[in-house]
Amino acid sequence: MKCLEIFSGAGGLAKGLELAGFEHVSFVEQNKDACASLRENFDPDLVYEGDIANFYLSALGKIDLVAGGPPCQPFSSGGRHQAQQDSRDMFPHAVRCIECLQPKAFLFENVKGLLRPSFAQYFEYILLRLTCPQCRILNNEHWQEHLTRLQKITLKNYDGIRYDVQCKLLNATDFGVPQKRERVLLVGTRSDLNMKWKFPEPTHSEDRLHWEKYVTGAYWQRHGMAWQKNDALHHLLRQRYGLFEPKGQPWQTVRDALKNVPWPQDAHGISDHVFRDGARTYPGHTGSDIDQPAKTLKAGGHGVPGGENMIRYEDGSVRYFTVYEAKLLQTFPKDFAIVGAWGEAMRQIGNAVPVHLAELLGRKLIALLSRKEALNNHAIRHESSRRPSMSA
């Protein structure tokens, strides 16, 4: 299955899709440091460094999946909240890729802010453009005028390619990522293929983590620590579940993710595990509790007001996450190279899709596309076997 990666960043989504079984045909990314990271971890000849508006799509041939993270600053809670009025809004280019390549499916990721009520009309516009990508915006047509035309589309007045588009807000923590990271996922499947996409169900829960902390003590035992009790949570969980433990697996914590990782100032030989001094706490800037999933790692373009890029120990002390530790919190492979100094590397990591979540979505897409392809091939063979022989 061939995949085009647009707005690739450092390659979190790309790595997950590769692990799931997709073959990348190209990566499109404008940031030079992110491109350097991509070249370190993937085939460097496939990396296009430049504006997606200048990328030649027609040369790619058949593409099964278009995936990427259109820049999220227009919708980010820390940004200027300008959405369609922001020049960094790249969704129109994502639509152009779908229109031109007509892939079997697409997968796009964006920030939770995309679902703000103030953006509702523009979000509807995005969904409708992805649904009917060949209904183009006209010269000098305002997007709201285009939206009105899209809203009136029927089977009778539009015979272009269509996509069944689904969106869902997912928290990566619910799927085994040691980080509270809520993101909007958009998945589209080509309507003529009659595929039914379903988002994965959560596999991990906070209740299960609390159960193992405050009912059984299994969490503390795993880490060789004394049992830290919480009578209120113990009582609440017993009321809720009785003798039956919560289903699934526990949320993964910072301590889980960094188990066996040496102290950064010790001798360890890990090139990107370098101590960075200067971490401080103040009201609203407290860091990530070591025995909870990390806060959402931030790209840092507008600061990290909650101290998201710091670890906070049980005694209240804090320090900055190293690049190596941040990679693990985003579930990158340990040997995945992030190019750049600490601030730039953290920006790339903070912008990435958690690799584990990307792989999970990729495996579901591979299974769906492969199953549909197998059914189509079977139907073709069956139809061929029913045709009368033309021999004398």
C-alpha distances in angstroms, 273 versus 195, 222, 337? 44, 24, 12
Sequence-distant (6+) residues with CB within 8 A of 375 are none
Indicate the SS3 state at residue 107. Answer: strand
Identify residue 247 by its one-letter amino acid code: K
Enter the tokens of residue 228: 């830290």
> What's the number of CA atoms in the CB half-sphere (13 Å) around residue 159?
1
> What's the number of CA atoms in the CB half-sphere (13 Å) around residue 38?
28
Could you tell me which residues are beta bridge partners of residue 171? 182
Report strand pairing: 310-312 vs 318-320.
Answer: antiparallel
Rounded CA separation 100/63 (Å): 10
Starting at the edge strand found earlier in the chain, the sheet holding 163-171 runs: 47-49, 23-29, 2-6, 65-68, 105-111, 182-190, 163-171
Catalytic site residue from 3, 35, 72, 97 = 72
Identify residue 169 by its one-letter amino acid code: L
Identify residue 13 by its one-letter amino acid code: L
| Residue 3 is a catalytic residue | no
Residue positions annotated with a catalytic role: 72
